[in-house]
């Protein structure tokens, strides 16, 4: 698959089977991430690969965050439900890769560029997943950025989990993609 075809045909695949994914395949996906452009070659990414019972770590973090956000006053049954729901979410795919930005602290490095590099790494990974015939969805949201998520994965306060890639064999047919033409969002500045 050429890169233009991969870009145009990649879709978020939120429903996958629990069929295991070979470690070599996961390593290929991770390596693709490391080839993202990154200013000053800081390589500001950190990957957390979770499979099998390793996904419980994510489920526990999501559960703790859900309980914290719910505040006090939940009875034991409601707490158990939130915790169980979080674990179910973490196990939606056989492999989940957490991708964090770990910004380098140097005066010559702009922190926002570190985020851009990690987002580019995630796109490389998603395109590789697609090219390998697998499916993935990039899940983000408030729990990613919660201090308890940093704590669960041993990240510093200045680091951020930028999302979780849920990867597996597709168990759905993706909708056809639609985009507005670039011309509508392009300004040509010429002499």
12 annotated binding-site participant: yes
188 annotated binding-site participant: no
CA dist 164 and 188 (Å) reads 36
CA dist 131 and 65 (Å) reads 34
Q: What are phi and psi of 18, to 5 degrees?
A: -95, 15
Residues 6 or more apart whose CB falls under 8 angstroms from that of 72 comprise none
Order of strands across the sheet that contains 45-51: 45-51, 95-101, 160-168, 135-139
11 annotated binding-site participant: yes
34 annotated binding-site participant: no
140 annotated binding-site participant: yes
Q: Is 63 helix (H, G, I), strand (E, B) or coil?
A: helix
Binding site residue list for FMN: 10-12, 39, 138-140
Binding site residue list: 10-12, 39, 138-140
């Amino acid at each position: 698959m050429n890169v233009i075809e991969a870009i145009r045909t990649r879709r978020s695949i939120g429903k996958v089977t629990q069929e295991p994914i070979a470690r070599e395949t996961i390593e290929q996906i991770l390596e693709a991430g490391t080839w993202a452009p990154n200013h000053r070659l800081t390589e500001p990414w950190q990957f957390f690969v979770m499979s099998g019972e390793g996904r419980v770590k994510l489920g526990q973090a999501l559960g703790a965050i859900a309980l914290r956000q719910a505040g006090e006053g939940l009875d034991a049954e409601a707490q158990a439900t939130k915790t169980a729901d979080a674990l179910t979410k973490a196990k939606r795919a056989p492999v989940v890769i957490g991708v964090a930005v770990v910004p380098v602290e140097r005066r010559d490095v702009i922190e926002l560029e570190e985020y851009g590099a990690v987002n580019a790494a995630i796109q490389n990974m998603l395109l590789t997943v697609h090219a390998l015939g697998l499916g993935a969805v990039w899940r983000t949201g408030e729990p990613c950025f919660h201090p308890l998520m940093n704590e669960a994965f041993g990240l510093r306060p200045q680091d951020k989990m930028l999302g979780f890639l849920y990867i597996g064999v597709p168990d759905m047919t993706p909708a056809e993609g639609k985009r507005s033409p670039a011309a509508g969002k392009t300004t040509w500045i010429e002499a």
